[in-house]
Structure 1
């Protein structure tokens, strides 16, 4: 009976609490309104529509010429060569930059000095000048030979068969880019807590293992965004390979058609369209790489916060 009466008292207390909770009026939260945002969106939409109409209806843009050449074989070949130059140059620049970072962080002063000189030279001279030099390599050094020091030549090959315009363009682009990537990678590695390196050394890990298991995986989160920007910059830097001269890239292909048709504007739009398409694809890839290596690092800026 005592337990039953206690249960009734508890039930009555709960009922009273529920009734009190229902009796208390809840605050009706009204979201703050931002009329300025609505006005700004309307103004931007109006300006965008007006600009789009002005461009679409302007006969001086020669959209019929744009439609004729946007998928022409010459332009598509230029797109292919531009992609090839970008991928190969970055594929060489990235491991070269990693090697230079290891040299910059080495305890050997000769390696540190050599890496510093490399970065100093290729960052300090214009990429156009470097490309022009590599284009003149066969003139400066007509042959490449392997010989015994102060002895006879073993092998000799004409430079023009090795340093072709495509090879010269790739060497010039990749060497220049490696200098910039070296500083990006070095900043990413230095952002890691030195205590982790000391702990790894304390348990007897070798320097290669420290780099591959501790430094590189953690630094990827910091390195990927600027490296993505450098890749997009490399895509557009391929337009300078005319200095070699290399004449198969997208910019040269569209310029050649423009010079033949005396209509530069639609061909500039063709080149701009393809650069935008490729850049958009690279940005999507960069986004997924950042999301993969940023797992466990908290929400992305602009998400999950109060504004």
Structure 2
């Protein structure tokens, strides 16, 4: 509270404080209090501390799978989105087929399909293509078990999210005023320079918030890779709870770790959205 020289409160500052208090995210306060309670249990209760130490090893694997898969999905999604604007109808139809089919398959089903159908097929294709060098001893033949489950999970998440991200890029590019593109082309700029200097910078600002939301969603969906035996947070929690029968405590810690990751990233995404809105106004 601010008091002027006369000793009377500044009503404008009081009103601003009340407005900020009313606009405060109460859900975040409740979530913060729950995190404090669970955090205190982890520090004070030895069983919670043991569970946390066991599960915290999976944080690195969760982040590793998510970061690699997301960066790969963004790259592939951008290529797919650009291919969707091709002047060749066959390419556009192939892109639309890919996007609609992949978006219609659940992530869990795609994980199983990639891990147990696509991966063995890729290994067989590698051995067939390089059959002669393998027979001559120049190269070693590949085995399905050499295709690590972590990379199968990354491959599956990349394919699954690339279709959704391609749609995000497509929508962002289509929102750009066509007059700007036509003006650049009338000045003699080649298509690659139009994309580089006109389309891409504006599209990136439009797609960053939804891409951030997809990144948060991928962190949650990364829990599905535990079905392939990948040692992420969920898998370690499953193993620990089945060996100690402390299901309540273990899955409390699992939920706590995922909430810390997702809520912190969600707040970053919201901050980015506010920053971009202020940037667009100016």
Residue 155 and residue 268 in structure 1: after superposition, are their counterparts in 2 closer, same or farther (change >3 A)?
A: farther
Alpha-carbon distance between aligned partners in 2 of 1:184 and 1:63, rounded to the nearest angstrom = 45
- Tell me by how many angstroms 1:147 deviates: 5.8
> Are the equivalent residues in 2 in contact too, given 1:188–1:219 (CA < 8 A)?
yes
User: Could you tell me which of 66, 69, 79 is aligned with 1:99?
Assistant: 79
- Tell me by how many angstroms 1:124 deviates: 0.9
- Tell me by how many angstroms 1:141 deviates: 6.0
> What residue in structure 1 maps to residue 169 of structure 2?
185
- Tell me by how many angstroms 1:185 deviates: 1.0
- Tell me by how many angstroms 1:267 deviates: 1.2
> What residue in structure 1 maps to residue 48 of structure 2?
66
Residue 77 and residue 216 in structure 1: after superposition, are their counterparts in 2 closer, same or farther (change >3 A)?
A: same
> What residue in structure 1 maps to residue 212 of structure 2?
228
> What residue in structure 1 maps to residue 92 of structure 2?
112
> Are the equivalent residues in 1 in contact too, given 2:127–2:142 (CA < 8 A)?
no
Give the gaps of 5 or more residues in structure 1.
1-28, 300-307
Give the gaps of 5 or more residues in structure 2.
1-9, 135-140
Residue 162 and residue 98 in structure 1: after superposition, are their counterparts in 2 closer, same or farther (change >3 A)?
A: farther
Residue 248 and residue 30 in structure 1: after superposition, are their counterparts in 2 closer, same or farther (change >3 A)?
A: closer
How far does the alpha carbon of each residue in 1:106-145 deviate from its partner, in whole angstroms, 9 at most, with x for none?
A: 1111211121111011101111111001221355566233
Alpha-carbon distance between aligned partners in 2 of 1:159 and 1:287, rounded to the nearest angstrom = 45
1:68-83, aligned counterparts within 5 Å?
A: 68-72=50-54, 75-83=55-63
> Are the equivalent residues in 1 in contact too, given 2:226–2:234 (CA < 8 A)?
no
The size of the alignment, in residue pairs, is: 254
1:134-153, aligned counterparts within 5 Å?
A: 134-137=114-117, 138-139=119-120, 143-145=124-126, 153=131
Q: Is residue 269 of structure 2 the alignment partner of residue 286 of structure 1?
A: yes
Tell me which protein shows more helix as a share of its residues: 2
- Tell me by how many angstroms 1:296 deviates: 3.3
Give the alignment's TM-score, normalised by structure 2.
0.77
> What residue in structure 1 maps to residue 236 of structure 2?
253
3-state SS of paired residue (1:248): coil
> Are the equivalent residues in 2 in contact too, given 1:220–1:293 (CA < 8 A)?
no
User: Could you tell me which of 154, 165, 168 is aligned with 1:170?
Assistant: 154
> Are the equivalent residues in 1 in contact too, given 2:150–2:230 (CA < 8 A)?
no
> Are the equivalent residues in 2 in contact too, given 1:66–1:266 (CA < 8 A)?
yes
Residue 239 and residue 105 in structure 1: after superposition, are their counterparts in 2 closer, same or farther (change >3 A)?
A: same
